[in-house]
């Protein structure tokens, strides 16, 4: 069972507000990921990190930014929220193992609604 947490679980906010979605994991995993998922649709990678001070943009363009100051923490920030940002945001982490392919463990997600 993976220990990865996201807060808040639900967020309703007005246009133009700055928001930060929190993601923490207690497994000591080096790699962490942010995905965006619309209801019933596929997951799109928006950011990932190989470790502390490492951040990379994913396959889906996003106006959000991330930081990785500590191994266990990978927050996502939107400087100015817009209705087009309304979606579910899923955080995941994984650990590299020799001779294997990493399994990603997901947090419960944050459902964001921008009015």
Partner 1 sequence: QQPVQSPQAVILREGEDAVINCSSSKALYSVHWYRQKHGEAPVFLMILLKGGEQKGHEKISASFNEKKQQSSLYLTASQLSYSGTYFCGLRSYNTDKLIFGTGTRLQVFP
Please identify, among the stretches 13-21, 35-43, 63-71, 72-80, the one whose residues bind partner 1 according to the rule CB under 8 A.
Answer: 35-43
Site residues (CB under 8 A) for partner 1, limited to 74-93: 90
Please identify, among the stretches 17-25, 61-69, 71-79, 100-108, the one whose residues bind partner 1 according to the rule CB under 8 A.
Answer: 100-108
- 92 in Cβ contact with 35 (< 8 Å): yes
Task: Pick the binder of partner 1 from 13, 20, 27, 31 (CB under 8 A).
Answer: 31
Query: How many other C-beta atoms lie within 10 A of the C-beta of residue 71?
Result: 16
Burial 13-46 (b: 16+ CB within 10 A, else e): beeeeebebebbbeeebbbbbbbbeeeeeebbbb
Site membership for partner 1, residue 13 (CB under 8 A)? no
Residues at the interface with partner 1 (CB under 8 A)? 31, 35, 40-45, 48, 58-59, 90, 96, 100-109
């Amino acid at each position: 069972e993976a220990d990865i947490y996201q807060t808040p679980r639900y967020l309703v906010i007005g246009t133009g507000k700055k928001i930060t979605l929190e993601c923490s994991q207690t497994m000591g995993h080096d790699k962490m990921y942010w995905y965006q998922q619309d209801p019933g649709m596929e997951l799109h990678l928006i950011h990932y990190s190989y470790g502390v001070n490492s951040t990379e943009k994913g396959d889906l363009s996003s106006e959000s930014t991330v930081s990785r100051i500590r191994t266990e923490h990978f927050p996502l920030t939107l400087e100015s929220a817009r209705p087009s940002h309304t979606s579910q945001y899923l955080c995941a982490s994984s650990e590299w193992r020799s001779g294997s392919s990493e399994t990603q463990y997901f947090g419960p997600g944050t459902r964001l609604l921008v009015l």
